[in-house]
Amino acid sequence: VLLGLIGSFFLWRAARTATSGVPGRFQAAVEILFEMVDTQAKGIVHNAESRKLVSPLALTVFVWIFLLNSMDFLPVDLFHKVFEWTGLDHSIHYFRVVPTADLSTTLGMSVSVLLICLFYNIKIKGIGGWAHELVSAPFGTSKNPVFAVILGVVNVAEQLISFTAKTVSHGMRLFGNMYAGELVFMLIALLGGSWAFSADPGSLMLLLLHVVAGWAWAVFHIIIILLQAFVFMMLTLVYIGQAHDAH
């Protein structure tokens, strides 16, 4: 709901600015982002007809994952306070604030990319052409019937392993980075907790480490959040681009 409200507000602002005829800073930023994604799509997916869908898809993936990752900057207690006010705290016990730190979210998105790749494999090459590619690439085939069957089985196995490995690594990469970043934030928070419950006057160093490390990791995490959204978008383009290539 929160991301939907944010997205709706930004779209409303962009539409209002566009109809006014005077491009504002937000519209200029959106145009720069769109041109960046479109340039990457043109360099990877060479089919102009496919880019009519792939370019907006890549832009949506980038913005969506960036917003999901950015929820890591929300206060840890915010949602639990909201749940207490609304009475939902009795039914929600293991709420995760960052969606991309949950493996089911990232694998769901990577499986969606896999389905799109399968769609373009069939659309561009046809069912027969793609089936022939499954049994003949990457190790080729043979005129000998026995060797042809053996190579066909090996090629299909390799293709299945390739599709599975790309999909799992696509989702695991985003999950691993965001989950690790969440753990580091928790460890830094424990420094402040250790200082708060410590009776040793010399523990003031824990508070200093908590503030400095928290600030430094938050700044560095902004780069991670942006970079992971970009990497996921680029891999989406690469995998869809590979679906257009004949082997």
Which residues are identified as catalytic?
169, 173, 177
Helices (H), 137-203: 145-196
CA–CA gap between residue 19 and residue 21 (Å, rounded): 5
| Contact criterion met (CB below 8 Å) for 133 and 246 | yes
| Contact criterion met (CB below 8 Å) for 99 and 3 | no
Q: What is the dihedral of CA 49, 51, 53, 57, to 10 degrees?
A: 170
| Contact criterion met (CB below 8 Å) for 12 and 29 | no
**CA separation, residue 231 to residues 37, 87, 234 (Å):** 12, 39, 5
CA–CA gap between residue 156 and residue 174 (Å, rounded): 28
CA–CA gap between residue 194 and residue 183 (Å, rounded): 16
Whether the upstream peptide bond of residue 138 has omega within 30° of 0, thus cis, is yes
